[in-house]
Amino acid sequence: MTVRYRMIFVLALAIALVWPALGRGGAPQTITFLTAPWGVPPDQALLKSFEDRSGITVQIISAPSAEMYTKVQVASAGRRAPADVIFLTEEAPSFIVAPGYTEPLDARVAKSADLNAGDIERMDFWTVGGKIQGITTYVQMVMMDYNAKRLRAGGFNTPAATWDELRRQSVALKQKGVDQYPVAFGAIDWSWFLMSLSAGDPMFDGSLNPVFSNSASPARKAMAMLLGFFATDKVITPDLLTKVTPHDVFMGGTGVYHQAWQGSLAVMNNDKISKQAPDVQYLLMPERHFTWSLDAAIGLSRFSGKKDAGWEFIKWYVSPENQRAIFKAVGLVPSRRSVQQALNAEGAIQGFDVMAEQAKYVHQLPRTVKWWGPWTQSVTEAIRKAAQGQLTADGAVDAVAKRWNELKAQYKQ
């Protein structure tokens, strides 16, 4: 080999060694990822492997959901990126996606065969205005679970099939001393949505009119029963009048029935953190069985200057390896069908059969309208006022229906 060709070979080898450490732009890059605490990549070695391979350093900004929304809204209003990559969870469709703060991903998805988008469930929810705004990271129907051992101790071998039956069982469990507070539901919007949908109330019609306010609607009955759980039946601990979720109360050993989520059994049956373990099982929603989903996604800020690097991180984030790591850490069910099926075959997903049955009864709420987030806050406020005797059940329903119509008119101007 001549000296000239030897030098070319050495130079080529050096480039080959350095290239993996370069971002797509040809130089190392740092991107920011704004996420809720449970969206932080749990396997730091796996994240480090991505960073080493891609040359993209990921700076993680973890914040509670409400703080996330504020950060995104304030920065985006000034046409600045709050972060390059944003975790889209809970009310993000209303607060972040609907106002146009995310970058459409259609072209990137089309060019990324390695994403294998066909393996990812419920991408349709994140297609807003005809454009893909996020890639689903996990699927999460709102579900219910219960402590089967405690239920049997109260003389009940099967969970309630109707809400009236659930109320009777809960009162009996309290009277028999099995559990002072057998129902772990919060005084929050989700509890009312869960009870209303499962009883067969669609809540809104095709024109986004609040049909839940109709006379004698299932939602009115659900509101009355939820408030009764607190005020008259006293089957819910007063602690849940102010808490954001009921999960820590249930994990702490209070409750037989629990407003849960798809994947909750991995947490509730973990005896290292839950006093309910190992006796928790899912139940199919009572009555008409309907629920809604609170899937999460990951997207790009419309105002990011590092969209290519951000997209590489997104593809890694929804990779089978990272989805497995997230499931192992916090029990969130992967959005990839292939990973779900593999975990189920390994016996890792508890209650898979009930999950599959519940998935037949998903009725999505209109969470992508711009006023959804502000409205849900008013729902929780009304429930809490009513639970403290400041509103009647019908008064609470009327108040939130009125607020819905006000916001709808305001945001459509």
- Whole-number Å distance between alpha carbons of 201 and 197: 5
- Whole-number Å distance between alpha carbons of 202 and 217: 10
Q: β-pairing, 135-139 with 131-132?
A: unpaired
What value does the mean pLDDT take over residues 122-128? 93
Cβ pair 225, 242 in contact under 8 A = no
Lowest mean pLDDT across 14-28, 69-83, 219-233? 14-28
Per the document, the length of the chain is: 413
Q: Tell me where in the chain the CATH 3.40.190.10 domain(s) lie.
A: 24-140+294-353, 142-290+369-411
Helices (H) and strands (E) in the chain, counts: 17, 12
- Whole-number Å distance between alpha carbons of 377 and 316: 34
Return the CATH architecture of domain 142-290+369-411. 3-Layer(aba) Sandwich (3.40)
- Whole-number Å distance between alpha carbons of 320 and 337: 10
Instruction: Enter the DSSP assignment of 284.
Output: P
Distances (CA, A) of 409 to 99, 206, 213, 317: 16, 16, 17, 38
Tens of pLDDT, residues 265-304: 999 999 999 999 999 999 999 999 999 999 999 999 999 9
- Whole-number Å distance between alpha carbons of 102 and 245: 28
The mean pLDDT value of the chain amounts to: 93
Tens of pLDDT, residues 183-201: 999 999 999 999 999 999 9
- Whole-number Å distance between alpha carbons of 222 and 234: 16
The whole model's pTM is what?
Answer: 0.85
Question: 413 pLDDT band (50/70/90 cuts)?
Answer: low
Domain 24-140+294-353 maps to which CATH number in 3.40.190.10, 1.10.10.60, 1.10.390.10, 3.20.20.10? 3.40.190.10
- Whole-number Å distance between alpha carbons of 408 and 413: 9
Paired tokens of 383: 């429930």
Distances (CA, A) of 211 to 99, 220, 221, 272, 402: 25, 10, 13, 44, 12
